[in-house]
Chain A
Amino acid sequence: MELLSGADMIARFLKDEGVEYIYGYPGGAALHIYDALFRQEDVKHILVRHEQAATHMADGYARASGKPGVVLVTSGPGATNAVTGIATAYMDSIPMVVLCGQVMSSLIGEDAFQETDIVGVTRPIVKHSFSIRHPSDIPTVLKKAFYIASSGRPGPVVVDIPKDMTAPTERYEYSYPRKVRLRSYNPAGRGHTGQIRKAVDLLTSAERPVIFAGGGVITGRASEALTDLAHRLNLPVITSLMGIGAFPQNDPRSLGWPGMHGSYESNMAMHESDLVLGVGVRFDDRVTNNVSKFCPHARIIHIDVDPSSISKTVHADVPIVGAADSVLNEMLNQLGQRQPAEPVSLDDWWAKIDGWRDERRGKLYEPAAPGEPLKPQQVVEAVHRITHGDAYVVTDVGQHQMFAAQYYRFNQPNRWISSSGLGTMGYGFPAAMGIKLSYPDEHVVLFTGEGSFQMMMQELSTCKQFGIPVKIVNLNNASLGMVRQWQDLNYKSRHAHSYMESLPDFEKLIEAYGFRAITVHTPEELDAALEETFRSKDELVFLDVHVDPREHVYPMQVPQGAMCDMLLSKTERT
């Protein structure tokens, strides 16, 4: 066995765990660890310009790769700056390990310089947290942290590391723990066979079934099984916002995503359905609208690895606790073994769904006439065309996020990257950077707004230092568009602080960091600018697209209504 200091053990463990990048920012309490990183070459550290960006980079990487993202920050302000990113990851069940420096253990509790009880601060927004009590515990604690972060329903894990735990003078035996066991933590595996049989019975006898698939299908790598099941029974598939890409959107069975700004057909279909097969979703309030009016005719089958998700907001008639992949495969198995009874015809159901699709076809938005300000929707569609629908698409939060989700079409999992549960403005840019670093040969496109981008634009400097060529599409409506939309609808267009005065000259701003920016105002300019932007995968380009600030996101569910109660445009409603 080798003798290593605590700090060297951390660096070494990260290597042994297969971590390629960590994202972070140094400071007093973390300096021993930084020194250890300096003396090795396997783990690459990316120096951000704000710790929040480090967490979002790790998060973006985790969503794209399915592996935990790793963050390193110092105590006090370093750790508190990471809080928003930890909360973002927690809400969307993203695996992340956050290593926080801490003041020396002898000083804890004395309000020492840069002391914050970060374990306490983050307690409600982590899956679990650890404080290192002895340097020799470092390998096992880190292994537990990675295991907990990435298994079951994933989530962020904070590891608090007092400075004396990493002191270079003291050395301990190190070996990489291949496996750890926790007696109190056993993530669900296979579902209950009897429950699965009930689910299959219901599925094969329903007249108006829908699948409702969430992020759990993506993290649980169950897209294939889900797709098989949908094909086998010819089921309509709706994914949550987190589940986008879990089922190919170019499949005719895909109805898109439901909820507040979800597609007309998915909201109608879910409301009218007689059976909802929920997989890895949490039926959150942005989907259900008023829960008491949710799916009045449907029975609910709910598959989830996390039992606390089941019957939390919506009562499940058939709860199944288990990993999505295993449960769906068992369903396929049982279907295969059945006598091929006369299947219930879904023709009427599909006719109804196609009717809803036809109702809205061609009516979703009005593209801009020549010379007119561009519509954000058409910009997203144009980006979809030029990237052939297989870019990594990252968003910030606001109208542009919804437009990106509505008009980019995803055929694979892990390509739609967006802060859904917390809705964190500022998330997008660093998340895109985290992805691009690990997927340099792919297009990574950020759809952002001038509001969101300004929350994390300091990271241009990080892109410059490490050469991270993301493509930034700024849907610039010179306003906090989503806020403005609500003010138009609910506050008689009193635009309290939802405008953006004194916007920077984005071209100059971008050029100051040595990158190229292109400004676009009209439809005529768009295609050439996109050609330029996406010509190579090795250049950061910032496309400042001035879009119509009056545009609203539709459909939009009516507050407190059922899923089917929607505004369809400024003048139409269901």
Chain B
Amino acid sequence: MRHIISMLLENEPGALSRVVGLFSQRNFNIETLNVAPTDDPTLSRLTVTTNGDERVIEQITKHLNRLIDVVKLVDLTEGAHIERELMLVKVKAQGGAREEVKRTADIFRAHIVDVTPSVYTVQITGDAPKLDAFLQAMAPVGVLEVARTGVSGIARGDKVLSL
């Protein structure tokens, strides 16, 4: 099953490589990885999506928790949560396709953020399936380049991941 594991990480050099290294060393898989600073300059937030049965996920969370740099960790998929990913995608936009791309972007509530005579750059946010669906819809027109941030997520409701 797919899991979204999100953690607060000491903002120390080497911390990220320890997390990534753990995954390769123990043969765990990483589907997406997203890291950025938080409002607290001493902490980064790292979110990883991974696949595995219950036993594997338990091992992943335990080993992550064992890393000294991991301050706090949550498996978002254990409860109600919001999952978002941002994608920038360049598509061919010439002739009739220009209108088609614009229409599809509107349906997906995506934005065209850059324009040339032959190319549109589209920005879209959503969960992973929505982004996949958009790419599929664009395939006939011609997708030139894709940049995705990887999943970021947060629990629904009052629950917070903080110190």
Contact = CB atoms under 8 A, between A and B. Distances in A.
Given A119-B14, A124-B25, A129-B14, A184 B62 contact: no
Interface string B1-39: 000000000100110011001000100000000000000
A308 B14 contact: no
**Most chain A beta carbons < 10 A, residue from B10, B25, B65, B68:** B68
Nearest to A310: B62
Nearest to B20: A123
B63 interface: yes
Nearest to B68: A128
A155 to B, nearest CB: 10
Contact of A183 (B13, B18, B71): B71
Contacts of A360: none
B160 interface: no
Contact of A123 (B10, B21, B63): B21
A123 B70 CA distance: 15
Contacts of A124: 21, 25
A120 interface: yes
B55 A131 contact: no
B59 A308 contact: yes
Contact of A306 (B13, B55, B66): B66
Interface string A276-309: 0000000000000000000000000000001110
A103 to B, nearest CB: 16
Interface residues of A, number: 20
SS of B interface (majority): helix
Contacts of A184: 10, 68-72
B65 A307 contact: yes
A283 to B, nearest CB: 14
Contacts of A308: 59, 62-63, 65-66
A338 to B, nearest CB: 32
Nearest to A321: B62
Interface string B39-74: 000000000000000010011001101101111100
Contacts of A307: 62, 65-66
A123 B71 contact: no
A185 B68 CA distance: 6
A148 B68 contact: yes
**Most chain B beta carbons < 10 A, residue from A120, A131, A307:** A307
Contacts of B68: 127-128, 148, 182, 184-185
Nearest to B26: A124
Nearest to A307: B62
A131 B59 contact: no
Contacts of B66: 306-308
A102 B59 CA distance: 34
A311 interface: yes
B18 A123 contact: yes
B17 A120 contact: yes
Contacts of A183: 71, 163
B13 A131 contact: yes
B59 A312 contact: yes
B140 to A, nearest CB: 45
B161 to A, nearest CB: 13
A123 B17 CA distance: 9
A119 B15 CA distance: 11
Contacts of B62: 307-308, 310
A129 B55 CA distance: 28
B71 A311 contact: no
B25 A311 contact: no
A436 to B, nearest CB: 33
A131 B25 contact: no
A237 to B, nearest CB: 28
Interface in B118-136: none
A129 B10 CA distance: 13
A307 B66 CA distance: 8
Nearest to A185: B68
Interface string A183-202: 11100000000000000000
A395 to B, nearest CB: 28
A538 to B, nearest CB: 43
Interface string A121-156: 001100111010000000000000000100000000
A311 B58 contact: yes
Nearest to A309: B62
Contacts of B25: 124
Contacts of A185: 68
A308 B64 CA distance: 9
B10 A131 contact: no
Nearest to B163: A183
B71 to A, nearest CB: 4
A184 B19 CA distance: 14
Contacts of B163: 183
A8 B55 CA distance: 49
Nearest to B72: A184
A131 B13 CA distance: 9
A182 B70 CA distance: 11
B63 to A, nearest CB: 5
Nearest to A144: B68
Nearest to A315: B55
A255 to B, nearest CB: 30
A490 to B, nearest CB: 27
B81 to A, nearest CB: 23
Nearest to B18: A123
Given A123-B21, A306-B66, A312-B59, A131 B71 contact: no
B63 A131 contact: no
A119 B13 CA distance: 11
A550 B82 CA distance: 66
Interface in A94-132: 119-120, 123-124, 127-129, 131
Contacts of B58: 311
B6 to A, nearest CB: 15
Nearest to B42: A183
Contacts of B70: 184
Nearest to B63: A308
A110 B120 CA distance: 41
B62 to A, nearest CB: 4
Nearest to B66: A308
11 contacts: A120-B17, A123-B17, A123-B18, A127-B68, A131-B14, A183-B71, A184-B71, A185-B68, A308-B65, A310-B62, A311-B55
Given A119-B14, A184-B70, 16 more contacts: A123-B17, A123-B21, A127-B68, A182-B68, A183-B71, A184-B10, A184-B68, A184-B69, A184-B72, A185-B68, A307-B65, A308-B59, A308-B63, A310-B62, A311-B55, A311-B59
